[in-house]
Chains A and B, each alone.
Chain A
Amino acid sequence: MIKIDEKGFYGKFGGAYIPEMLHPNIEELRENYEQIMATPEFQKEFRGLLKDFVGRPTPLYFASRLSEKYGAKIYLKREDLCHTGAHKVNNTVGQIIMAKKLGKKRIIAETGAGQHGVATATVCALMGMDCTIYMGAVDIQRQRPNVERMKILGAKVVPATSGSQTLKDATNEAMRQWINNPVDTHYIIGSVVGPHPYPEMVARFQSVISEEIKWQLKEKEGTENPDIIIACVGGGSNAAGAFFHYYNVPQVRLVAAEAAGLGVTSGKSAATTVLGTSGILHGSKTLLMQTEDGQVVEPHSISAGLDYPGIGPVHAHLFDIGRAEFVAVEDEDAMKAGIELSRTEGIIPAIETAHAIHALNLIEYSKDDIIVINLSGRGDKDLDTYIKWGGY
């Protein structure tokens, strides 16, 4: 049974390894989030916004040409059609309502590629809340359009200048700022990472993805259960959402596509389950890429959203007990898969998502298998990377 325990662990992974200065905030959230989420009032507002603001339910689309090419029944769960272009907004809508219910006045968030930053800035604009986004200085340079989108939406974008100046450092900086402003500020973490209860709370907000897959597949195929679900994993929020209602349905195979970067043995990779060992990062015990001495290693992926040295504790657990299959997809293969999907189905995917598409080449299945790929985001933000890569 995949279930979080009362101390916030999934098996060996999870917990809340946080400085005491954050204890009151985390405790406040832990004590209240389940109860708040369970109220009809919260559900009404959350469901209403998912429907009318985000545009849910997103379609479960039968990809006929892709299916023909690979010899399986392939469905795409179209999270790329969410407002702001990716699944990220499911979580930020949930957390902004949570923040309001907790009486918070100010929102902070980290972002890598800028998708979570944009999704956060969007809901802050929607609710009229003050918003500050921490983003690695290197990512600010690489992801200019998203920086401007956040600014247009009224957010303040603050560069994180320590370390590699990417997502990991933006997360460190957001945590530091939370320590400095603990009373009136809510930190909207963008993935299923961080101290308990964040991984579980974010997964629950994202679980709307698998909730919809169940009834949509039932309508189309007469069964709620696909044979295989594939999703990409950086921190792992879209995968957690797509897997959530299937964790404990053992006949449904769960496949997680990690970023191998230039290759798992190249030293330029983000394939955490291959290269990582158990350790503590950003407040939870999980698998992470580190030196023998316990220093966190800088990851690499062509996709900024997968460029993270850890994975959410729930995924570390799924890996540990063998519940999910993990595959590692190299930069080049992901880029080619992005072009392949563009030309077979007319959908340019985010490069993160393209990793999940390529996973079709790395797993075994048979002709009658129903495969759902979580199409977590669209490729608009990645045009520069596609252009620089140029292989089309």
Chain B
Amino acid sequence: MSQVLTMNRIDNLFQTKKERVLSIYFTAGFPKLEDTLTIMQAIESAGANIIEVGVPYSDPIADGPTIQDSNQIALDNGMSLKRLFEQLQDMRQTVSLPVVLMGYLNPIIQYGMEAFCKKCQEIGVDGLILPDLPMQQYLDEFKEVFDKYDLRNTFLISPQTSEKRIREIDTHSNGFIYMVSAHSITGARTGISEEQIAYFQRVEAMNLKNPRLIGFGISDSETFTTASKYGNGAIIGSAFIKKIKESQDLKSDIESYIQSVIH
């Protein structure tokens, strides 16, 4: 990693914080179209470390019912990539955490990959997670443009990912690696099993160059702490979506939830 000259907030974060990094995912435009910035500000003030903004899609094949549902509601609310960029245009006036956009490839390709990456840099996005972008396609088609606009690219690995493949992913990743804790869609599991811990340990022993965040199945202080033992931190998605779905006071509910996870 180019640790000297970078201004990228993801790099900066992992240079100073190696453990208990908490990343929070939410779907842009959910529960209400205009909640995006409010949610981001609350995640920051509550003490989380990375904000993952989900770009809603009609066919999110790696997501379980909770996130699917939030995607559909966001789309029904009128959310689109263009609208999202408008909402995020001035985010850097109020949000200083690293921001990662997470979304499926098709809406981004329709926007235009280069235009998308350029816009991301302009508004201060630091990285991307595109679950249906395979490594080979990334290398063949998109790596150059991601690099040009200083965007970190995060790949997922699962318990089925071979050691050889993990090494390749580590070589071609920057930012961090997203460890799917069970071979599962989002929101499908709760708690962490012995088997998963064996997998975390196996990957930990590989001494990868990239930091590792553990996702899928993290919902509270206990699971966060367990995951943080074996990685540099964890990602909460579905559990967070459930918390904000019924919220009457986003700022206060988000702050109390995140603080309950961290402490």
Contact = CB atoms under 8 A, between A and B. Distances in A.
A48 interface: no
A280 interface: yes
A180 B169 CA distance: 21
B263 to A, nearest CB: 32
Contact of B106 (A19, A163, A280): A280
Contacts, number: 110
Contacts of A180: 183-185, 188
B156 interface: yes
A277 B112 CA distance: 13
B115 interface: no
A337 to B, nearest CB: 32
Nearest to A277: B110
B190 interface: no
Interface residues of B, number: 45
Interface in A87-120: none
B110 A279 contact: yes
A20 B158 contact: yes
Nearest to B110: A294
Interface in B155-201: 155-158, 160-162, 165, 169, 180, 183-185, 188
Interface stretch (B94-102, B132-140, B236-244): B132-140
A19 B216 CA distance: 14
Interface stretch (A10-18, A212-220, A344-352): A10-18
Interface in A175-206: 175-176, 179-183
A279 B109 contact: yes
A294 B161 contact: no
B65 interface: yes
B30 interface: no
B68 A294 contact: no
B137 A17 contact: yes
B220 to A, nearest CB: 22
Given A162-B72, A180-B185, A293-B82, A21 B180 contact: yes
Given A20-B155, A21-B156, A280-B106, A182 B62 contact: no
Contacts of B69: 162
B137 A15 contact: yes
Interface string B39-79: 00000000000000000011111111100110010010000
- By size class, the interface of chain A is 20 to 34
B108 A294 contact: yes
Contacts of B68: 162
B183 A182 contact: yes
A386 B66 CA distance: 39
Contact of A168 (B59, B80, B82, B160): B59
B66 to A, nearest CB: 11
Given A176-B64, A294-B107, A294-B108, A163 B58 contact: yes
Contacts of B107: 293-295
Given A163-B72, A279-B110, A293-B110, A179 B134 contact: no
Contact of A21 (B80, B109, B183): B183
A24 B180 CA distance: 14
B81 A20 contact: no
Nearest to B157: A20
16 contacts: A18-B132, A20-B155, A20-B161, A20-B169, A23-B161, A24-B165, A163-B59, A176-B62, A176-B64, A179-B183, A182-B160, A183-B183, A279-B109, A279-B110, A282-B61, A293-B111
Interface of A: 7, 15-21, 23-24, 162-163, 168, 172, 175-176, 179-183, 277, 279-283, 290, 292-296
> Lowest 6 A-B CB distances belong to which pairs?
A294-B107, A294-B110, A293-B80, A20-B156, A19-B62, A295-B58
Given A162-B65, A162-B69, 14 more contacts: A17-B137, A18-B134, A19-B61, A21-B62, A24-B160, A162-B68, A176-B62, A179-B62, A280-B105, A282-B61, A293-B80, A294-B109, A295-B57, A296-B59
